């Protein structure tokens, strides 16, 4: 626990090219302000300014609203010099800005609101992370997410072109972006290029591309479907064919980029000595997402803090003695979404009707029997997953599948 009277507080409003800092004491009195460039050679100006208002008996608490974006360089610089650096949730500083009768928005006032959050919530704010290992992993995860978004967008554009030329293409290619499908769209972007093609000729071409997964029967289905669709050729068809070929090249490019990033993530994860991939259904990608959002588990004293950070812990909404605990819509949305998706995986059934995780599936069924809705039951599973993940990361222990009869009530 910190003694608030023994520190001065520096709130920072961070930007790409420059930062604004407001210095305050524990009584919310403004002591000073400084604007400096966002580069290490200028950071010493901030320390010099702060020390003018700081005695030997007092320390300095720096509060950053974006310590993993534009403020990461400053956060790392301060932590390396053993200063206290707190990460402020933007929702908290926004609430302080909105708490006054007349709303204001400028760099100085924004920094002042961040400092006020640090003063009033000092013992609750998490420490900012500066570890390059976690930051690098978060960059890889973000890179993968961006690539995936572009990949899906391109596949949708390819679908728009293909469904006009081949209205029944779903009969022979369920996934428009598979290697065999991409080869087909590249060489036959419209049915006019298939004219005169026999089943044997098409099979001879596609079977090697599909690594013998395609068959002559499947090629016959293609030609039959094309014939049943009728003539789909329109004016300026060659120009549209070039659009399809270009989209195929773009999709392939993003597939290659995704594979490269996935390999980088898989090669990078062993540095963390993380046992989370021992949980059934947890891939390297999911582990990377969890670690990049949670960071160093040592900054959380218990699992409840992680649950609050993720926005999974229930929040009480009541008045005059009436109310109920409800699911929070705040917290780290990316971590919340990853945990919730993992909860869904835990109760999935295989094609044979067997649950992936019998213990969680039994717990899920018990909650439904008690009158919980499916989303409520999944939130409860998410909360238990938080406790399991926290314990595994804290103690470096592997996951052990519990027996159903010994599972949590």
pLDDT digits (tens, 9 = 90+) for 233-269: 888 999 999 999 999 999 999 999 999 999 999 999 9
**Would you state the structure tokens that stand for residue 140, as one six-digit string?**
């890889």
Q: Give the residue among 178, 182, 172, 161 at the shortest CA–CA distance from 232.
A: 161
pLDDT at 325: 61
pLDDT at 324: 66
- Residue 122 sits in a domain whose CATH number is 3.30.420.10
Total structural domains within the chain: 3
Structural domain span for residue 186:
135-267
pLDDT digits (tens, 9 = 90+) for 88-118: 988 888 888 888 777 788 999 999 999 999 9
* Residue range 8-28: mean pLDDT, rounded: 94
pLDDT digits (tens, 9 = 90+) for 167-204: 999 999 999 999 999 999 999 999 999 998 999 999 99
Between these two residues, 4 and 405, which has the higher pLDDT value? Answer: 4
Q: Give the residue among 125, 121, 144, 141 at the shortest CA–CA distance from 133.
A: 141
Last residue of a domain, one of 239, 267, 295: 267
pLDDT digits (tens, 9 = 90+) for 299-332: 888 999 999 889 887 666 667 777 666 666 678 8
pLDDT digits (tens, 9 = 90+) for 25-36: 999 999 999 999
pLDDT at 6: 92
pLDDT exceeds 70 at position 56: yes
- The span from the CA of 92 to the CA of 124, in Å, is 12
pLDDT exceeds 90 at position 119: yes
Q: Let me know whether 293 and 202 are in one domain.
A: no
Residue 81 CB contacts under 8 Å (≥ 6 apart), including other chains? 47
Q: Let me know whether 115 and 57 are in one domain.
A: yes
Averaged pLDDT of the chain: 90
Q: Give the residue among 238, 158, 249 at the shortest CA–CA distance from 192.
A: 238
pLDDT at 280: 87
Beta-strand runs (E) in 125-165: none
Last residue of a domain, one of 267, 294, 321: 267
* Residue range 339-360: mean pLDDT, rounded: 91
Q: Let me know whether 156 and 43 are in one domain.
A: no
């Amino acid at each position: 626990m910190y003694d608030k009277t023994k520190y001065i507080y520096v709130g920072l409003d961070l930007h790409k090219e420059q930062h604004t800092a407001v210095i305050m004491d524990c009584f919310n009195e403004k002591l000073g302000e400084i604007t400096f460039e966002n580069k290490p050679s200028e950071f010493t100006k901030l320390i010099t300014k702060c020390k003018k208002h700081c005695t030997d008996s007092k320390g300095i608490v720096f509060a950053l609203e974006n310590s993993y974006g534009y403020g990461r360089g400053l956060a790392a610089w301060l932590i390396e010099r053993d200063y206290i650096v707190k990460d402020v949730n933007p929702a908290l500083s926004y609430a302080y800005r909105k708490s006054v009768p007349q709303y204001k928005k400028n760099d100085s006032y924004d920094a002042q609101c961040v400092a006020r959050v640090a003063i009033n919530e000092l013992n609750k704010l998490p420490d900012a992370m500066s570890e390059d290992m976690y930051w690098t992993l978060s960059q890889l995860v973000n890179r993968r997410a961006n690539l995936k978004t572009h990949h899906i967008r391109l596949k949708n554009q390819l679908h728009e072109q293909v469904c006009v030329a081949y209205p029944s293409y779903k009969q022979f290619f369920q996934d428009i972006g598979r290697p065999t499908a991409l080869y087909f769209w590249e060489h036959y972007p419209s049915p006019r290029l298939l004219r005169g093609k026999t089943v044997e000729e098409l099979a001879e071409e596609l079977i090697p591309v599909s690594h013998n997964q395609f068959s002559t029967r499947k090629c016959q289905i293609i030609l039959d479907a094309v014939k049943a669709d009728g003539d789909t050729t329109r004016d300026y068809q060659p120009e549209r064919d070039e659009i399809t070929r270009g989209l195929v090249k773009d999709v392939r490019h993003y597939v290659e980029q995704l594979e490269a990033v996935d390999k980088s993530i898989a090669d990078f994860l062993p540095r963390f000595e993380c046992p989370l991939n021992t949980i059934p259904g947890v891939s390297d990608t999911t582990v990377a997402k969890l670690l990049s959002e949670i960071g160093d588990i040592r900054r959380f004293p218990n699992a409840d803090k992680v649950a609050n950070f993720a926005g999974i812990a229930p929040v009480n909404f009541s008045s005059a003695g009436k109310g109920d605990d409800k699911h929070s819509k705040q917290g780290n949305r990316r971590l919340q979404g990853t945990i919730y998706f993992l909860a869904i995986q835990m109760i999935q059934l295989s094609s044979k009707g067997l649950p992936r995780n019998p213990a969680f599936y039994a717990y899920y069924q018990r909650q439904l029997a008690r009158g919980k809705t499916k989303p409520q039951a999944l939130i409860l599973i998410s909360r238990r997953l938080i406790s399991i993940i926290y314990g595994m990361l804290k103690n470096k222990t592997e996951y052990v599948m519990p027996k159903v009869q010994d599972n949590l009530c």
